[in-house]
Amino acid sequence: MDLKAELLEKSRHVAQKSYGEIQVGDKAQITKEIRDEDILTFAKLTGDVNPVHIDDDFAQRTMFKERIAHGMLSASFISTVLGTQLPGTNTIYLSQNLKFKAPVKIGDIVTAIAEVVEKRDDKKIIKLKTNLVNQNQKVVVEGEAVIMKME
């Protein structure tokens, strides 16, 4: 199966909740193990080849003592939750704020969690608390998203 066909098949499983079905307090999450290949692919895709992400020798001389994932790679899993789980289809990203609290390293297992904290019915706007935690339940990325739910 080619890449487009594979992704189209996966897209058939995206949540299809209407604005009215979504309630304050609703939560969704996805979990992903961060692999060396993910970091290298992200570097190639974006052009962010900062050596702290791709060069073991360089990274050993930093405060992290090893390579770390790009902050935006980690944060991108928040977009995955919003676009595929909650709210799912017909979600339009309006804004996202992020605070990077701790590094994400190769082998870390991160869970992106989104929780509905507010709804604005007149414009179908939803505000969500968006956090990313590692396998030790440490918050590595903290944020808030605002989306519009198109019906």
- Domain map of the chain by residue range? 22-149
Fold of 22-149: Thiol Ester Dehydrase; Chain A (3.10.129)
Q: Report phi then psi at 32, rounded to 5.
A: -145, 135
pLDDT value at position 151?
Answer: 74
pLDDT at 10: 87
Place of tokens 């505000």: 127
Residue of 109, 41, 99 whose CA lies nearest to 71: 99
Q: Is 0.85 surpassed by the pTM of this model?
A: yes
Residue whose C-alpha is closest to residue 110's, from 145, 75, 85: 75
pLDDT of residue 11: 87
pLDDT score of 79: 95
Query: According to the model, what pLDDT value does residue 1 have?
Result: 72
Q: Which residues of the chain have pLDDT under 70?
A: none
